[in-house]
Structure 1
Amino acid sequence: MNASFLVAALAAAAPLMAMGFERWPGLAPCALCLWQRWPYWVAAALAVLAGLLPVPWRAWLLRAAALAVVVSGAIAALHVGVEQGWWPSPLPSCLAPSVGSGTSVDDLLASLTPLPSKPCDEPAYLPGLPLSVATMNLIYALALAGWTWRQAGRSGRV
């Protein structure tokens, strides 16, 4: 089996698992959670292209896929920092709606959005695991990016 298609499957597995966590055990995603998914889809598409195109293109496309996964890891690192209170989130959609003085119910309802439904500084945990989902994504992204980069080096010699 071509390593490119395995990279594509592993890259697509991350956002698919995240969507599964929304169903069971019912974890609500925040804005940063949603942002972390997009680079994986880009990486999966690049890896599929790497598997379909001639060998000279394979290494370049796999390295581009690895860099896309690194972007998800960087967003995950930002998210972990927000969860730990090391820095505030740069996204205004990460803030939970609050009722301040002078805010009407109509203004509050207008500010609510269907997704995301939780603030980014509230970590999401899977039952029985001590790491937040953002932390697990950071670890996965770093491992997948490193492995993909290595596969790119091997595919260039084929």
Structure 2
Amino acid sequence: MRAAIGRFGAAHVLAFGLPLALLAGAWGSQLFGGLYPCQLCHWQRWPHYAALAIAGLAFFVPGAGVRRALVLLAAVAIAVSGGIGIAHAGVEYGWWPGFTACTSTLQLGGLDAAGRLDAIMHAPLVRCDRAPWTLAGISLAGFNAIFSLAGAATIFLLTLTRSVR
């Protein structure tokens, strides 16, 4: 890890590692914890996918200036996810009304009409205004906002105070 930080810079490693860790946590809670994502949860993931791709690309481009720009762009994407996390947490905590429909996880492939109706009627409804899990009163959306915004600010500070190699 120290060699990666020395070669690419702490900001670059954080710009890649933070969305990777947050996405791993989101997918882990979905696949192993049974916490199905709502529409706003999905919206929070997309900027992290973008940040992961952008920061990953920055490992392979020549020139410190281009790498620095890509790392900063990844930080912007991470901050966008944090902003969506604030919006989602506000909906969960009742600070403002939701602005999206709730979602459901349907698997309709290969079913006949009766099977599809049964799947629709028994699919879990995932509400955007209810936090399925909290720790110390902070929901997953709240944690995403905290980690994403703090991480993006750290990346910006590291990039402005140190060179991205």
What TM-score, normalized to structure 2?
Answer: 0.75
How many residue pairs end up in the alignment? 143
Rounded Cα–Cα distance in structure 1 between residues aligned with 2:19 and 2:46: 10
Rounded Cα–Cα distance in structure 2 between residues aligned with 1:88 and 1:61: 35
Call closer, same or farther: CA 1:84–1:130 in 2, change over 3 Å: closer
RMSD (Å), alpha carbons: 2.7
Q: Which of 29, 44, 51 matches 1:36?
A: 44
* Contact map agreement 1:29 1:115 (CA 8 A) in 2: no
Q: Does 1:66 align with 2:75?
A: yes
Q: Which one-letter code corresponds to 1:134 in the other structure?
A: A
Greater share of strand: 2
- Structure 1: any 5+ residue segments left out of the alignment? 97-105
Superposed displacement of residue 129, structure 1: 4.4
Partner of 1:87: 96
Rounded Cα–Cα distance in structure 1 between residues aligned with 2:85 and 2:157: 22
* Contact map agreement 1:12 1:44 (CA 8 A) in 2: yes
Rounded Cα–Cα distance in structure 2 between residues aligned with 1:115 and 1:49: 38
- Structure 2: any 5+ residue segments left out of the alignment? 105-113
Structure 1 moving runs of 4+ over 6 Å:
113-116
- 1:73-112 aligned at under 5 Å gives the runs 73-92=82-101, 94=102, 112=120
Q: Which of 10, 13, 16 matches 2:21?
A: 13
Partner of 1:26: 34
- Matched residue of 1:155: which SS? coil
Call closer, same or farther: CA 1:31–1:114 in 2, change over 3 Å: farther
- Matched residue of 2:128: which SS? coil
Identity of aligned residues (%): 37
What TM-score, normalized to structure 1?
Answer: 0.78
Q: Which one-letter code corresponds to 1:85 in the other structure?
A: G
Query: Residues 98-147 of structure 1, C-alpha deviation per residue, up to 9 Å, x if partnerless?
Result: xxxxxxxx9xx59x599883110011215x64321111111010111011
Q: Which one-letter code corresponds to 1:144 in the other structure?
A: G
- Matched residue of 2:130: which SS? coil
Partner of 2:110: none
Rounded Cα–Cα distance in structure 2 between residues aligned with 1:95 and 1:148: 33
Q: Does 1:47 align with 2:52?
A: no
